[in-house]
Chain A
Amino acid sequence: MKRTHYEIFWEILTFCKTPKSFTSIINRCNLNSKIGQTHIDFLKKRRFLEEVQSEGNTLLKSTEQASQYIAFFNKTYRELFDETPEFRI
């Protein structure tokens, strides 16, 4: 499916509310490793994702700052959907 960067960011951040591995993120968000890495690097640089250690593995977790983006995104998309007329045959 054709998603925008903002939609992919939202998917990664909501999925990483609990710590997740790189592989599970790209599988869940349906990304190839190159694109997945680019998006994750971007989010890490903006401090929306942070690395956490768990049983010797490096996992990624969304930060407190990410919740503002997630909340704004949820509100915007819900409003877009709720405020437009319903499609019915």
Chain B
Amino acid sequence: MTTNTATKLQHELNSFMGLSIINLVCSALVLAFGAYFLMPNIVEMATTQTVTIERVGLAVLGAIAFYVAIRWMLSVVNIFSTAEEIKTNLTEHKKNNTLDDTAITGLIVNMTAAYRENKPTIGLMTKISKIAGACFVIAALYTLASIITGVLSGAGFWTTITLVANMAISLAVAVACFIIPRFFGKYSAVWDIRLNGAAKAEAELEKQLGATGQ
């Protein structure tokens, strides 16, 4: 029983940390995407002293992506560190052979408390991930437009290949950004059941505190 629960705890922590890493990678790509659109357009406008709607639009899109990526990264780091702490505790208990009933319940309590605290952050990350996905779709469409324009105006083979690769990366990240909310949804569904169960058990726990204490 204890071994099964410990294995389940380990699997869930591994999955959650994997999900955090996927988020970290995506947020880093969004950061790069933001810088890619923000900086060259600002430099271009500053050096040529010309402001066009297209450049302003791309710079604004880049700035939004940059800001969103920073917020996203900070949220990921926050929830990752909590999961890492719990995982370290579990590993130490296993190493020291102290993984008894109390230790397991302690880890479950920590995970429950961590989810209770991170629930709003997970909600925010789900929204940010969808926004990032939309940004990458826009980037892919923009690149596609550049490819078509390039092909029609006789652009070189390598230029076209580079743009196609760029578009493929943007699309792949967009897909990842739209998949992340599904995983968070699965994670939240499981933990919401546990939180509801814990809330329902409170009446019984209260009774235990009152009844046995008299």
Within 8 A of A (CB), among B97-133: 101-102, 104-106, 108-110, 112-114, 116-117
**A89 touching B105 in the complex, CB below 8 Å, given contacts A69-B208, A80-B197, A82-B8:** no
Proximity string of chain A (20-58) to chain B, C-beta cutoff 8 Å, 1 when within and 0 when not: 000000000000000000000000011110000000000
Q: Is the CB of B114 within 8 A of A68?
A: no
**B101 partner residues in chain A, CB cutoff 8 A:** 74, 78
Within 8 A of B (CB), among A1-27: 1-4, 6-7, 9-11, 14
The distance from the CB of B18 to the nearest CB of chain A, in whole angstroms, is: 5
Q: How many residues of B contact A (CB 8 A)?
A: 44
**A14 touching B201 in the complex, CB below 8 Å, given contacts A69-B209, A82-B5, A87-B12:** no
Task: Tell me the complex Cα distance, A74–B114, Å.
Answer: 18
**A81 touching B108 in the complex, CB below 8 Å, given contacts A69-B212, A76-B201, A89-B183:** yes
Task: Tell me the complex Cα distance, A82–B190, Å.
Answer: 11
Task: Tell me the complex Cα distance, A86–B212, Å.
Answer: 34
**A6 partner residues in chain B, CB cutoff 8 A:** 202, 205-206, 209
The distance from the CB of B175 to the nearest CB of chain A, in whole angstroms, is: 15
Q: Is the CB of A80 within 8 A of B202?
A: no
Task: Tell me the complex Cα distance, A84–B87, Å.
Answer: 20
**B8 partner residues in chain A, CB cutoff 8 A:** 81-82, 86
Q: Is the CB of A84 within 8 A of B209?
A: no
Task: Tell me the complex Cα distance, A22–B112, Å.
Answer: 25
List residues of A whose CB falls within 8 A of some B CB.
1-4, 6-7, 9-11, 14, 45-48, 65, 68-70, 72-74, 76-78, 80-82, 84-89
Given A11-B106, A78-B101, A86-B8, list of 4 further CB < 8 A pairs? A6-B202, A69-B205, A69-B212, A88-B12
